[in-house]
Amino acid sequence: MSERYETHEHDVLVIGAGGAGLRAAIEASASGVSVGLVCKSLLGKAHTVMAEGGVAAALAHMDPQDGWQTHFMDTMKGGSFLNHWRMAQLHAQEAPDRVRELEQWGALFDRTPDGRILQRAFGGHTWKRLAHVGDRTGLEMIRTLQDKGVHSGLDVYMECTVTRLLKDGDRIAGALAYWRESGRFVVFRAKAVVIATGGIGKSYRVTSNSWEYTGDGQALAYDAGAELIDMEFVQFHPTGMVWPPGVMGLLVTEGVRGEGGILRNSKGERFMWKYLPDARRHEYAENDAEARQWVEDTVAGRASQARRPPELSTRDNVSRAIYTEVKESRGTPHGGAYLDISYLPAERVKRKLPSMYHQFMELADVDITKTPMEVGPTTHYMMGGLRVDPDTGAATVPGLFAAGEAAAGMHGANRLGGNSLSDLLVFGRRAGAGAAAHARKLSSMPPVNDAEIEADTRALLAPFERSSGESPYEVHRALQDCMDRLVGIFRVQADLEAAVETLEALRRRAAAVRVEGTRMFNPGWHLARDLSNMICVSEAIARSAALRKESRGAHSRLDFPGQDPALAQVNFRVTRSASGMRVEPTPLPQMPAELRSLFDAKPAPAKQEAAR
> Is position 36 an interface residue for ligand FAD (rule: CB under 6 A)?
no
Nearer to ligand FAD, 165 or 496 (CB): 165
Phi, psi dihedral angles at 435 (to 5 degrees) = -65, -40
Nearer to ligand FAD, 52 or 316 (CB): 52
Q: Are 238 and 315 in contact (CB under 8 A)?
A: yes
> Which of 12, 13, 14, 15 forms a contact with ligand FAD (CB under 6 A)?
15
Distance CA 185, CA 506 (A): 27
Question: Coil, strand, or helix at residue 405?
Answer: helix
> Is position 14 an interface residue for ligand FAD (rule: CB under 6 A)?
no
State the burial class of residue 107 (Cβ atoms within 10 Å of its Cβ: 0-12, 13-18, 19+): buried
Question: DSSP E strands: which ranges in 232-361?
Answer: 234-241, 262-264, 337-340
Distance CA 289, CA 128 (A): 20
CA dihedral sign, ordered 307, 308, 311, 315 = negative
Distance CA 342, CA 256 (A): 11
CA dihedral sign, ordered 403, 405, 406, 411 = positive
> Which of 235, 359, 420, 544 forms a contact with ligand FAD (CB under 6 A)?
420
Distance CA 68, CA 76 (A): 12
- Shortest Cβ distance from residue 46 to ligand FAD (Å)? 3
Residues 6+ apart with CB under 8 A from 217: 15, 16, 195, 196, 197, 198, 385, 386, 402, 406
Nearer to ligand FAD, 40 or 308 (CB): 40
Residues written for the chain = 612
Q: Are 239 and 252 in contact (CB under 8 A)?
A: yes
Nearer to ligand FAD, 375 or 500 (CB): 375
> Is position 27 an interface residue for ligand FAD (rule: CB under 6 A)?
no
Distance CA 136, CA 139 (A): 6
Please, which of residues 113-152 interact with ligand FAD by CB under 6 A?
137-138
Interacting span for ligand FAD (CB under 6 A) from 42-50, 112-120, 497-505, 541-549: 42-50
> Which of 25, 35, 38, 226 forms a contact with ligand FAD (CB under 6 A)?
38
Q: Is the peptide bond before 446 cis (omega within 30 degrees of 0)?
A: no
Q: What count of other Cβ atoms lies within 10 Å of the Cβ of residue 442?
A: 13
Residues 6+ apart with CB under 8 A from 370: 342, 346
- Closest residue (Cβ) to ligand FAD? 18
> Which of 249, 331, 384, 404 forms a contact with ligand FAD (CB under 6 A)?
404
- Shortest Cβ distance from residue 178 to ligand FAD (Å)? 9
Nearer to ligand FAD, 313 or 502 (CB): 313
Interacting span for ligand FAD (CB under 6 A) from 44-52, 60-68, 71-79, 310-318: 44-52
Nearer to ligand FAD, 2 or 235 (CB): 235
> Which of 11, 216, 316, 389 forms a contact with ligand FAD (CB under 6 A)?
216
> Is position 430 an interface residue for ligand FAD (rule: CB under 6 A)?
no
> Is position 526 an interface residue for ligand FAD (rule: CB under 6 A)?
no
- Shortest Cβ distance from residue 165 to ligand FAD (Å)? 10
User: What CA–CA distances, in Å, run from 103 to 95, 109, 117?
Assistant: 12, 8, 9
Nearer to ligand FAD, 252 or 306 (CB): 252
> Is position 381 an interface residue for ligand FAD (rule: CB under 6 A)?
yes
Question: Coil, strand, or helix at residue 338?
Answer: strand
CA dihedral sign, ordered 7, 10, 14, 16 = negative
> Is position 40 an interface residue for ligand FAD (rule: CB under 6 A)?
yes
> Which of 17, 28, 33, 591 forms a contact with ligand FAD (CB under 6 A)?
17
- Shortest Cβ distance from residue 207 to ligand FAD (Å)? 8
Distance CA 8, CA 187 (A): 6
Distance CA 531, CA 26 (A): 31
Nearer to ligand FAD, 250 or 542 (CB): 250
Nearer to ligand FAD, 14 or 574 (CB): 14
Q: Are 441 and 192 in contact (CB under 8 A)?
A: no
- Catalytic residue, from 237, 307, 320, 380: name it: 237
Complete DSSP assignment for 170-224: TEEEEEEEEETTT--EEEEEEEEEEE-----GGGSSSBS--TT-S-HHHHHHHHT
> Is position 50 an interface residue for ligand FAD (rule: CB under 6 A)?
yes
> Is position 20 an interface residue for ligand FAD (rule: CB under 6 A)?
yes
- Shortest Cβ distance from residue 456 to ligand FAD (Å)? 13
Please, which of residues 159-188 interact with ligand FAD by CB under 6 A?
161-162
Distance CA 130, CA 49 (A): 16
Residues that bind ligand FAD (rule: CB under 6 A) add up to a total of 43
Nearer to ligand FAD, 208 or 332 (CB): 208
Interacting span for ligand FAD (CB under 6 A) from 402-410, 443-451, 470-478, 512-520: 402-410
Nearer to ligand FAD, 98 or 264 (CB): 98
Q: Are 179 and 160 in contact (CB under 8 A)?
A: yes
Interacting span for ligand FAD (CB under 6 A) from 37-45, 76-84, 554-562, 603-611: 37-45
Nearer to ligand FAD, 38 or 591 (CB): 38
- Shortest Cβ distance from residue 244 to ligand FAD (Å)? 18
Interacting span for ligand FAD (CB under 6 A) from 49-57, 65-73, 452-460, 558-566: 49-57
Residue among 379, 399, 396 nearest 388 (CA) = 396
Angle between helices 85-104 and 419-441 (to 10 degrees): 90
> Which of 39, 57, 154, 426 forms a contact with ligand FAD (CB under 6 A)?
39
> Is position 251 an interface residue for ligand FAD (rule: CB under 6 A)?
yes
> Which of 18, 134, 331, 553 forms a contact with ligand FAD (CB under 6 A)?
18
> Which of 5, 16, 228, 510 forms a contact with ligand FAD (CB under 6 A)?
16
- Is 282 in the active site? no
- Is 257 in the active site? yes
Angle between helices 419-441 and 19-30 (to 10 degrees): 40
- Catalytic residue, from 23, 257, 548, 555: name it: 257
What's the alpha-carbon Rg for the chain, to the nearest Å? Answer: 23
- Shortest Cβ distance from residue 237 to ligand FAD (Å)? 8
Query: Given the rule CB under 6 A, which residues bind ligand FAD?
Result: 15-21, 38-41, 46-48, 50-55, 137-138, 161-162, 196-198, 208-209, 212, 216, 251, 380-381, 404-406, 417-421, 424
Which residues are tagged catalytic?
A: 237, 257
